[in-house]
């Protein structure tokens, strides 16, 4: 049966475990998976710019032995002529076996999924959801920490518009012993609905702070985010807030030795380049883990659709 992935919470904890197990098996035995998608096509429909996510999906499909078609900007698609997302999804369903779609508008992936006859993976719909980034984050946490329980997770930067942060909170709040430290300027605090609907409802402890340096010593994971220009209507607000939190080696002095520093990338300047060589820097491992999880996800959805 055709199934899509719009929100990370579309996947049960058991399904996440299954995806992580598949990804780990892919890492151990890449040859076993090198031809499983032979003759199958992934359509990458990217209505807004992306380096990592699009290339990650493409690399994932190639490493599964499949092929890729698509576009990398609304201007190079029929969207420039005014074609609806629904029509694009119906059309692409005639050419490909699975779709990965990024669109600047929130909910666009759901519209595509409701109209496509093939599985749709949400590769980011505006500030709403970005489930495959969360899959990359989860595999990174799993590989670095050995599991998902009893962790203090610091989320830093743009917690208001940061879709990866909202998805990660949703996913991690399903495990026991999780505590969040939400580090942001007051203008970019986590939205009330995330606090009320997820954290408060599940009784998950959290605190909202503004001082990154003071919060670091207690953290097992520090998830940094970029203050994104494209999420602001007002350029002045962006310029005022973009440098709010910058992680450097000095701030890491009091951090735990096994702290895991994560970032969905791209970074601008919120993590000093000097941190890259610190063993606690895990953000490029996240990129690689993202490809493995996308491979596992493509496999799962194509299997469920009966395509492979």
| Helix, strand, or coil (residue 161) | coil
In sequence order, what are the residues at sequence separation of 6 or more whose Cβ sits closer than 8 angstroms to the Cβ of residue 299? 22, 33, 36, 37, 64, 308
124 touching other proteins, by CB under 8 A: no
Compose the 48-87 pattern: x for residues touching other proteins by CB under 8 A, - for all others. Answer: ------------------------------------xxx-
Residue 61 or 111 having the CB closest to other proteins? 111
* Rounded Cα–Cα distance for residues 12 and 15 (Å): 5
Residue 194 or 299 having the CB closest to other proteins? 194
Q: Which DSSP category does 186 fall into? A: G
* Backbone phi, psi, residue 156, to 5°: -130, 140
248 touching other proteins, by CB under 8 A: no
Closest CB 7 distance from other proteins, rounded Å? 9
Among 40, 54, 102, 103, binds other proteins (CB under 8 A): 103
Q: One of 22, 44, 53, 140 is an active-site residue; which one?
A: 53
**Element (DSSP H or E) covering residue 238:** helix 235-241
- Assess whether 52 carries a catalytic annotation: yes
107 touching other proteins, by CB under 8 A: yes
- Assess whether 103 carries a catalytic annotation: no
Among 15, 106, 207, 218, binds other proteins (CB under 8 A): 106
Does residue 147 contact residue 122 with C-beta atoms inside 8 Å?
A: no
Exposed / middle / buried, residue 253 (Cβ in 10 Å: 0-12, 13-18, 19+): exposed
Q: Would you please indicate which residues are annotated as catalytic (active-site) residues? A: 52-53, 81, 102, 130
């Amino acid at each position: 049966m055709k199934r899509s992935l719009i929100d990370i919470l579309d996947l049960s904890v058991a399904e996440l475990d299954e995806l992580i197990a598949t990804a780990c098996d892919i890492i151990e035995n890449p040859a076993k998976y090198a031809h499983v998608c032979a003759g199958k096509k992934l359509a990458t429909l990217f209505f807004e710019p992306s380096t990592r996510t699009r290339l990650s999906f493409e690399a994932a499909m190639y490493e599964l032995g499949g092929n890729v078609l698509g576009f990398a900007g609304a201007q190079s698609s029929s969207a420039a002529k005014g074609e609806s997302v629904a029509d694009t999804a119906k059309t692409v369903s005639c050419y490909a076996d699975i779709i990965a779609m990024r669109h600047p508008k929130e909910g666009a992936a759901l519209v595509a999924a409701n109209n496509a006859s093939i599985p749709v993976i949400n590769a980011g719909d505006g500030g709403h959801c970005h489930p495959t980034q969360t899959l990359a984050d989860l595999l990174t946490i799993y590989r670095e920490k050995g599991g998902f329980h009893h962790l203090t997770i610091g989320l830093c930067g743009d917690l208001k518009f940061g879709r990866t942060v909202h998805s990660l909170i949703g996913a991690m709040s399903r495990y026991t012993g999780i505590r969040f430290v939400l580090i942001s300027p007051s203008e970019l605090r986590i939205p009330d609905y995330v606090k009320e609907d997820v954290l408060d409802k599940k009784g998950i402890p959290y605190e909202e702070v503004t001082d990154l340096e003071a919060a670091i010593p207690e953290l097992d994971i520090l998830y940094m985010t970029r203050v994104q220009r494209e999420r602001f209507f007002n350029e002045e607000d962006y310029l005022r807030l973009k440098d709010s939190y910058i992680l450097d080696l000095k701030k890491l002095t009091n951090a735990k030795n096994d702290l895991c520093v994560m970032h969905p990338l791209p970074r601008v300047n919120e993590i000093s380049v000097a941190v890259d060589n610190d063993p606690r820097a895990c953000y490029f491992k996240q990129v690689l883990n993202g490809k493995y999880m996308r491979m596992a996800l493509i496999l799962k959805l194509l299997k469920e659709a009966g395509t492979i």
